Amino acid sequence: MEKPSKGTGLYFLIFAIVMLGLLYFGNSYFTQGESISNQEFVSILDSDDIHSITVSQNKEVPTGVVVVTLKNGQYKKINVSDVNETEKLLKEKFPSYKVEDVKRDSVFLQYLLPVIVMGVILFLIFSIMGNQGGGANAKMMNFGKSLAKLSTEDNKIRFDDVAGLKEEKEDLMEIVDFLKNPAKYIEVGARIPKGVILVGPPGTGKTLIAKAVAGEANVPFFSASGSEFVEMFVGVGASRVRDLFEEAKKNAPCIVFIDEIDAVGRKRGSGMGGGHDEREQTLNQLLIEMDGFGVNEGIIVLAATNRVDILDPAILRPGRFDRKVMVGTPDVEGRRQILKVHSKNKPLADDVDLDEVARTTAGFTGADLENLMNESAISAAKENRKFINANDVKESFLKVGVGTEKKSKIVSDKEKRITAYHEAGHAILFHVLEDMDPVYTVSIIPTGMGAAGYTMPLPESDEMFNTKGKMKHEIMVSLGGRIAESIVFDDITTGASSDIKKATSTAKKMITRYGMSDEVGVICYDDDEEVFIGRDFGHTRSYSENVAAKIDSEIKAIIDECYKEAEKIIIEHRDVLDRVAELLIEKEKIGREEFEACFGNISQNESM
């Protein structure tokens, strides 16, 4: 497949500018200075302001240009129809004039160049308009061609090459199976998803697993990156998308992989300083293409992003990317397996303990681990050793882990302990409080987005209303992390700031929006739906200082009450807290069963 260079359009533009420049300077010979009339010329000749005079003439024609340089530095110029006449006059009035022979413009400069320049300009204009309208013109533009890379023969990646990511592979297995045996699904009328979006921090293996899907199913793999679609010319992105899908349809069944989909899929109209037309067009085209091919046509679009929150909701609608697969940073076990994969062809000395390496690399992604093993191999090779020893790994660990931006990724044992107790605190309250959903996972793996860990509930009920009791329970859960920290350690950390913010905002809503405080009354003091950070600046409150003070004291009262109740529960479950925290320190991520087992024979959901 031909692969046009990325900046083709740019080269055209530069070419046009250079040509225009040539044209301009080519003629400017004659155009310097202010044009004057014949009378003015004569009167200047009679004055003694003249510094010098140059007569420019082309020998083949009688016409010429006389340029007069005045003593004050100004230029005056006059076009004359007969240079001989002028020379006669000058010999009389200003005999020290100079004659300059100007070569006639070459045919190229005079006739061909303007034609070429016009051609280029017209070509550009047409191509831009053609693409905008989505017309057939787009096809002749090779810079509208898709940059998608096609790989079939060289794609030998299988699920076995993707270590860990067990659940992710299970989710994608269905797609592999469909690509292999479409008839089976079509017969029973099943609708296979058209699009699956892989969400996770960079380096966690999204691209790798997408390739593995194609490899397992043995179908072509087309890949393109969202950022490639956002080019400088409006419409190029859209035309590339069109092209990519055209190619895919010819090769179905196949996988189309769009990396960095957030580059095109950002919420529309949310760009800085107005919308980004180009991006929106590309996104629209992508949605059109996805709606365009039928269900079970054999094209499955996989996309990757690390920011699902900024995506346009239209992308996630049914029939488009309606499946989401979270690709997380690996836990200890995952890291151990990834290390195994990446040390397959690397002989290790006896003193290298991959289990230990796995334990000490919390927060490392698959890419980091691959890098770690590679650096270790390089360090061994430098010393002409045929195997990697523990020292190589240690040194590379410092290199990879302490590399500028990855600094935050190294989690000390102390931090790990604190995070474990913090999350255990949240989790216990989730479990004990009746109104809250059961815990699905608890993790102390850094998310790569600023959080040290997370506790995720399994939403069981889809309730329409929030009750006062439930909102209080939510506040208690939010405070749980901080409470556990303060019970177990003498000190408290800054790690709970977002929890505190959440608790405060829930309490505030209870009072100012839902009228749940007797003190303040059933009055809505806050009718804005969205709460933007910093919106309060210059936002005039519609209530008095007096009411504001009351609201603040009520917020504090609710939070204090919740804190006390939550603290009581955690103290009562101190043994569970220790067990959960220990388990988290060991495994980093635990599921519902493991978590609930920590409660032992203490009956669950016993009341507060």
Determine which residue in the list 481, 554, 567, 581 makes contact with Zn ion, applying CB under 5 A.
481
Which positions touch Mg ion (CB under 5 A)? Answer: 207
Q: What would the two tokens of residue 346 be?
A: 């690397």
**376 lines the binding site for ligand ADP (CB under 6 A):** no
Least distance to ligand ADP, CB of residue 434, Å: 39
- 341 vs 487 by CB, closer to ligand ADP: 341
Residue 260 in the binding site for Zn ion (CB under 5 A): no
CA angle (298, 302, 308) in 5-degree steps: 145
211 Cβ contact partners less than 8 Å away, ≥ 6 residues apart: 151, 155, 157, 221, 257
Which C-beta is closer to ligand ADP: that of 65 or that of 325?
325
- The nearer residue to Zn ion, 56 or 419, going by C-beta atoms, is 419
d(CA 58, CA 576): 101
Binding partner selected for residue 338 from ligand ADP, Zn ion, Mg ion, none, CB under the kind-specific 5 to 8 Å limit: ligand ADP
Residue 9 site contact among ligand ADP, Zn ion, Mg ion, none (CB < 5 to 8 Å, cut-off depends on kind):
none
Q: Applying CB under 6 A, which of residues 163, 224, 429, 436 lies at the interface with ligand ADP? A: 163
Backbone phi and psi for residue 227, each to the nearest 5 degrees, phi listed first: -70, -25
Asked if 479 and 566 touch (Cβ cutoff 8 Å), the reply is: yes
Binding partner of residue 370 among Zn ion, ligand ADP, Mg ion, none, CB cut-off 5 to 8 Å per kind? ligand ADP
The yes-or-no answer on residue 423 being catalytic is yes
Residue 263 interacting with ligand ADP (CB under 6 A): no
The residue whose Cβ lies closest to Zn ion is 481
Report in angstroms how near the CB of residue 441 gets to Zn ion at its nearest: 14
The pairing of strands 195-199 and 323-326 is parallel
Q: At what angle do helices 206-217 and 166-180 cross, to 10 degrees?
A: 30
* 205 contacts ligand ADP (rule: CB under 6 A): yes
Q: Which residue is nearest to ligand ADP (CB)?
A: 366
Provide the angle, in degrees to the nearest 10, between the axes of the packed helices 236-250 and 113-132: 70
- Residue 481 interacts with, from Zn ion, Mg ion, ligand ADP, none (CB under 5-8 Å by kind): Zn ion
Kindly report the backbone phi and psi dihedral angles of residue 64, in degrees, each rounded to the nearest multiple of 5, phi listed first: -170, 180
By CB under 5 A, the residues from 493 to 512 that bind Zn ion are 499
Q: Which of 86, 127, 204, 517 touches ligand ADP by CB under 6 A?
A: 204
- Closer to Mg ion by CB, 130 or 226: give it: 226
Specify whether the CB–CB gap between 293 and 219 falls below 8 A: no
Neighbours of 367 (CB within 10 A): 17
Q: Which does 235 bind (CB under 5 to 8 A by kind): ligand ADP, Zn ion, Mg ion, none?
A: none
Per-residue tokens: 99: 């004659």
Distance of closest approach, residue 607 Cβ to Zn ion, in angstroms: 24
The answer to the question of residue 328 lying near Zn ion (CB under 5 A) is no
Specify the amino acid at residue 36: I
> Dihedral of CA 28/34/38/44: which sign?
negative
Number of helices (H), then strands (E), in the chain: 22, 14
Instruction: List C-alpha distances in Å: 225 to 136, 202, 256, 261, 270.
Output: 24, 14, 11, 7, 21
User: Which is closer to Zn ion, CB of 247 or CB of 499?
Assistant: 499
Q: What is the closest distance, in whole angstroms, from the C-beta atom of residue 157 to ligand ADP in the complex?
A: 9
Least distance to ligand ADP, CB of residue 366, Å: 2
Q: Which of 280, 423, 474, 485 is catalytic?
A: 423
Strands 195-199 and 254-259: unpaired
Q: Which stretch binds ligand ADP (CB under 6 A): 111-119, 366-374, 432-440, 505-513?
A: 366-374
Name the residue nearer to Mg ion (CB basis): 50 or 209. Answer: 209
Q: For residue 474, state whether it binds Zn ion (rule: CB under 5 A).
A: no
Nearer to ligand ADP, 289 or 370 (CB): 370
Alpha-carbon distances, residue 205 vs 153, 198, 239, 326, 334 (angstroms): 21, 10, 29, 11, 12
* Pairing mode, strands 64-70 and 75-80: antiparallel
Reported as type and span, the H/E element at residue 209 is helix 206-217
Minimum distance of ligand ADP from residue 220's CB (angstroms): 19
Alpha helices, H only, 307-412: 332-341, 354-359, 366-382, 390-402
CB 369, CB 333: distance < 8 Å: no
CB of 203 to ligand ADP, least distance (A): 5
- The site for Zn ion (CB under 5 A) is made up of 481, 499
- The site for ligand ADP (CB under 6 A) is made up of 162-165, 200, 202-208, 304, 338, 341, 366-367, 370
Catalytic residue list: 423
